[in-house]
Chains A and B, each alone.
Chain A
Amino acid sequence: MVETGHFALVLAFALSLVQMVVPLFGARLNNQRLMAVGGPVAVTGFALTALSFAALASAYASSDFSVASVWENSHSLQPLIYKITGTWGNHEGSMLLWVLILTFFGALVAAFGSNLPATLRANVLAVQGGIGAAFFLFILVTSNPFIRLNPAPIEGRDLNPILQDLGLAIHPPFLYLGYVGFSICFSFSVAALIEGRIDASWARWVRPWTLVAWMFLTGGIAMGSYWAYYELGWGGFWFWDPVENASFMPWLAGTALLHSAIVMEKRSALKIWTLLLAILTFSLSLLGTFLVRSGVLTSVHAFATDPTRGVFILCILTLFIGGSLALFALRASRLTTGGLFHPISREGALVLNNLFLTTATATVLVGTLYPLAVEAFSADKISVGAPFFNLTFGPLMVPLLLVVPFGPLLAWKRGDVFAVAQRLMVAFAAALLATLVTALFIDGASVFAALGVGLAVWLILGALTDLAVKSGVGNVAAGIMVRRLLGLPRSVFGTAFAHLGLGLTTLGIVGTLCFGTEKILSMHAGETVELSGHTLRFVGLYPAQGPNYSEDRGRFELIGVSGSPVGEISSAKRFYPVRQMTTTESGIRTIGFSQLYISLGDEGKDGSVVVRLWWKPLVTLIWGGGLMMMAGAAMSLMDRRLRVGAPSRRRKQASAVPSAGLP
């Protein structure tokens, strides 16, 4: 089975070369038969990669320690679920997952792209094949997951304990679906550059693919953030760690792309900019892969450290980013620019969004790469952390968030900012009220905290105002209003949901950072501690045995108003003997949208234990907002214009009147 997987991988590499070369020449020579090769090859390539991945997963599931990668990252006593998720919990396996998703998207283009112009389809598949070929080669040369060990060891070295967690089971696949999903936008852009023209079908394809990729990337980042929050035991939800930034940069650029693609689709303006943004977004995904996989940055998450891999990915990076940008420089002037618009208009608002988001992306990029540059050109070693990002990223985000509610309410082409401001009066008054109430009635609220709460309320109500205005609240009878609301295009709901999610995340961040409390103390069994109105009693430490670890579990009782316990929270120190590693399992209790968070420290000589407690108000909204954004993206994808497999009659209509029926 393992050899079958290995063979399938080599075959998939060969097919990706075919996919890269044959359709490209077909498109050049305008040879239908050569172009038609791309589709079946892409589908077969995906099937082979899937077979290869399944072979590796089954080696992991059955603890086949004759495979080096399994031996290094698995253990026979591990629960089955972590044996399987361990497949991508390591460098080799995660790269295989990367190409699996890449070929999956290629196969989707082949399967659903029958309505695309033949040359565009051929070129897209060729570019996709090229990316695939580079990464297949990378895997086969530097990170082959199928290398055997002889003699086979009896027992494995266990998966890194902090990765033995359900959050990690879902986080990488989501993240990669996002990262690699942007490859489609990239391939479409490069294909358009190769052809030297952007046609209507290009515009219609890029937006849904951006939405899909963005949706998964949002989910992946939110899950990764929650995983770090509860698994690392530090109680932080974002560390501005290079590896986190690596996923955040494509997200920011992807968010900009999502918005500029709307302008392109509806008004056929900003074509060249959107194309460039699509290239940049995927380039940042590649850069992210490089940063994480090469171990070039010191990072709490860097699990892979191997210079040959780093150099290889750097070559891939240079080839694709440099190549696509050079192509852009050569060809972009040939592309026609689209419609004109007034600065105060929906288009103008979206341009402003792009300006802020791309600048924010650039500051994150500078902050992430600056330490590398300093180290390369001088002997100094520096680190750029939260203080830098708070000073640069923060001031860029606040004005952007302030104008978010205006965008969806402005009309296309020429908007009336005063009319929109009038409609937003209620939201503005409520935000002002929230600011004042926070400042006056909540103890210890700083000016920033109050303004932060106001901003979040402004975003949330701004998103709801959009729906209210478009369904005609106040102007029409309730029955008609409901009917209008339900009749609104799904994409209007998508926008409102995503912006609402942004408001929720902002509220969660402000709540946690400004109103959170924390205590570090050493406790004996039986002692109680009070934190922000919650009383906790330390019951004691209890040893326990897990399948591949032993633990000391510290049990705490949450004492209610009456003085009797109303719930239990427990945090543990786990010891994994195979790797000689200790991990902290944090104890979390959710109360409303807030959480009590307990992390256990070292045991003292007198039997006391160091305990760190946090009260994190509204913290769950940070990730809840992320889910809401995902829901928004899903909602937009369900918009009838984008429905996959919609009858071609509708498509013809849509191409004839691109912005028909939409505000």
Chain B
Amino acid sequence: MTRKQKRLSVIAGGLVFLGAATGLTFYALGQKASYFYMPADLTTASVQPGQRIRLGGLVEKGTIQRGQGATVGFSVSDTHKSVKVTYTGILPDLFREEQGVITEGTFGPDGVFVADSVLAKHDERYMPKEVADGLKAKGVWQESKSE
């Protein structure tokens, strides 16, 4: 092979590699990215049982139930609609009634959302951004709440 051919084959190899990586990346984005929904969105969006999503909203007042052991049930609401959630594990330190949370998991066949992670806002001035935006869009956000 001449120098030019060698160089070309190296470049071609590199491009094939990059192409494969790009393909993998887009495949993974399609498969592994999880969509964020508020409870009211679920009426229009079609979410299959078993499909991984992020569900955000406010923890509805009076719905926190501590069952046997470490399983906790509560409802996530956007004031229009609410969804029952169960979670086994330790809730974040900032998990409280009427505070913004993001839960990640899948819907069970019974329509209860089984979360495997729960994120609460991280300090007094911080509301999970998706939740704040979602509440603003639904017209139930009061600026004073963010402080």
A interface, CB within 8 angstroms of B: 160, 162, 233, 295, 297-298, 300-303, 305, 340, 343, 355, 359, 362-363, 366-367, 370-371, 380-385, 387-388, 391-392, 395-396, 520-522, 573, 579-584, 599-602, 604-605, 610, 612
Contact, CB under 8 Å: A363 / B25: yes
Smallest Cβ-Cβ distance to A370: which chain B residue:
B29
Partner of A396, one of B21, B54, B93, B128: B21
Interface size class of B (residues with CB under 8 A): 35 or more
B107 contacts the other chain (Cβ, under 8 Å)? Answer: no
Q: Which residues of A contact B134 (CB under 8 A)?
A: 381
In the complex, besides A362-B25, A579-B123, A582-B93, 16 extra interface pairs with C-beta distance below 8 angstroms are A162-B122, A298-B128, A298-B129, A298-B130, A300-B122, A359-B18, A362-B21, A381-B134, A384-B32, A392-B21, A520-B90, A573-B93, A599-B90, A601-B89, A602-B66, A602-B91
Known contacts A298-B130, A392-B28, A579-B124: A343-B6 contact under CB 8 Å: yes
Known contacts A522-B69, A602-B66: A391-B33 contact under CB 8 Å: no
Known contacts A520-B70, A522-B69: A382-B34 contact under CB 8 Å: yes
A384 to B126, CA, bound (A): 21
Contact, CB under 8 Å: A233 / B90: yes
Q: Which residues of A contact B17 (CB under 8 A)?
A: 355, 359
A395 to B28, CA, bound (A): 12
Question: Nearest Cβ in chain A — how far from B132, in angstroms?
Answer: 9
Q: Which residues of B contact A391 (CB under 8 A)?
A: 24, 27-28, 31-32
Question: Nearest Cβ in chain A — how far from B147, in angstroms?
Answer: 12
Q: Per-position contact with A for B100-142: 1 when CB-CB < 8 Å, else 0?
A: 0010100000000000000100111110111001100000000
Partner of A384, one of B21, B29, B89: B29
Known contacts A298-B128, A601-B90: A363-B34 contact under CB 8 Å: no
Contact, CB under 8 Å: A521 / B69: yes
Contact, CB under 8 Å: A520 / B25: no
Contact, CB under 8 Å: B21 / A604: no
A-B contact pairs, 14 of them (CB 8 A): A302-B122, A305-B129, A370-B33, A371-B33, A380-B35, A381-B36, A383-B36, A384-B33, A387-B32, A392-B24, A522-B70, A573-B93, A581-B94, A582-B93
A78 to B93, CA, bound (A): 21
A396 to B20, CA, bound (A): 10
Q: Which residues of A contact B32 (CB under 8 A)?
A: 384-385, 387-388, 391
Contact, CB under 8 Å: A366 / B91: no
Contact, CB under 8 Å: B10 / A343: yes
Most chain B CB within 10 A, of A366, A521, A579, is at A366
Q: Which residues of B contact A305 (CB under 8 A)?
A: 125-126, 129
Contact, CB under 8 Å: A395 / B14: no
Classify the interface of chain A: helix, strand, loop or mixed.
mixed
Q: Which residues of A contact B66 (CB under 8 A)?
A: 602, 604-605
B interface, CB within 8 angstroms of A: 3, 6, 10, 14, 17-18, 21, 24-25, 27-29, 31-36, 52, 54, 66, 69-70, 88-91, 93-94, 102, 104, 119, 122-126, 128-130, 133-134
Q: Which residues of A contact B128 (CB under 8 A)?
A: 298
Q: Which residues of B contact A605 (CB under 8 A)?
A: 66
Q: Which residues of B contact A599 (CB under 8 A)?
A: 90
Q: Which residues of A contact B25 (CB under 8 A)?
A: 362-363, 366-367, 392
Smallest Cβ-Cβ distance to A304: which chain B residue:
B126
Contact, CB under 8 Å: B33 / A382: yes
A616 to B84, CA, bound (A): 33
Q: Which residues of A contact B18 (CB under 8 A)?
A: 359
A359 to B13, CA, bound (A): 14
Q: Which residues of A contact B102 (CB under 8 A)?
A: 298
Most chain B CB within 10 A, of A362, A604, A610, is at A610
Question: Nearest Cβ in chain B — how far from A608, in angstroms?
Answer: 9
Contact, CB under 8 Å: A581 / B124: yes
A298 to B34, CA, bound (A): 14
Contact, CB under 8 Å: A385 / B34: yes
Contact, CB under 8 Å: A383 / B33: yes
Q: Which residues of B contact A381 (CB under 8 A)?
A: 35-36, 130, 133-134
Q: Which residues of B contact A162 (CB under 8 A)?
A: 122
Smallest Cβ-Cβ distance to A365: which chain B residue:
B25
Q: Which residues of B contact A233 (CB under 8 A)?
A: 90, 93
Smallest Cβ-Cβ distance to A580: which chain B residue:
B124
Q: Which residues of B contact A521 (CB under 8 A)?
A: 69-70
Partner of A395, one of B24, B54, B88, B129: B24
A444 to B3, CA, bound (A): 52
Q: Which residues of B contact A297 (CB under 8 A)?
A: 129
Contact, CB under 8 Å: B70 / A388: no
Q: Which residues of B contact A583 (CB under 8 A)?
A: 93
Contact, CB under 8 Å: B93 / A382: no
Q: Which residues of A contact B36 (CB under 8 A)?
A: 380-383
Question: Nearest Cβ in chain A — how far from B18, in angstroms?
Answer: 6
Contact, CB under 8 Å: A610 / B126: no
A520 to B91, CA, bound (A): 12
Known contacts A359-B18, A396-B21: A366-B29 contact under CB 8 Å: yes
Question: Nearest Cβ in chain B — how far from A244, in angstroms?
Answer: 15
Contact, CB under 8 Å: A388 / B124: no
Q: Which residues of A contact B119 (CB under 8 A)?
A: 300
Known contacts A382-B36, A581-B123: A612-B91 contact under CB 8 Å: no
Q: Which residues of A contact B130 (CB under 8 A)?
A: 298, 381
Smallest Cβ-Cβ distance to B29: which chain A residue:
A370
Q: Which residues of B contact A383 (CB under 8 A)?
A: 33-34, 36, 54, 104
A295 to B33, CA, bound (A): 21
Smallest Cβ-Cβ distance to B72: which chain A residue:
A602
Smallest Cβ-Cβ distance to B28: which chain A residue:
A391
A532 to B5, CA, bound (A): 58
Smallest Cβ-Cβ distance to A518: which chain B residue:
B89
Q: Which residues of A contact B31 (CB under 8 A)?
A: 387, 391
Question: Nearest Cβ in chain B — how far from A144, in angstroms?
Answer: 19
Of all A-B residue pairs in the complex, the 9 with the closest CB atoms, nearest first, are A381-B36, A601-B90, A387-B32, A388-B32, A298-B129, A582-B93, A391-B28, A520-B70, A382-B33
Most chain B CB within 10 A, of A381, A382, A384, is at A381
A600 to B94, CA, bound (A): 14
Question: Nearest Cβ in chain B — how far from A253, in angstroms?
Answer: 15
A301 to B25, CA, bound (A): 25
Q: Which residues of B contact A600 (CB under 8 A)?
A: 90
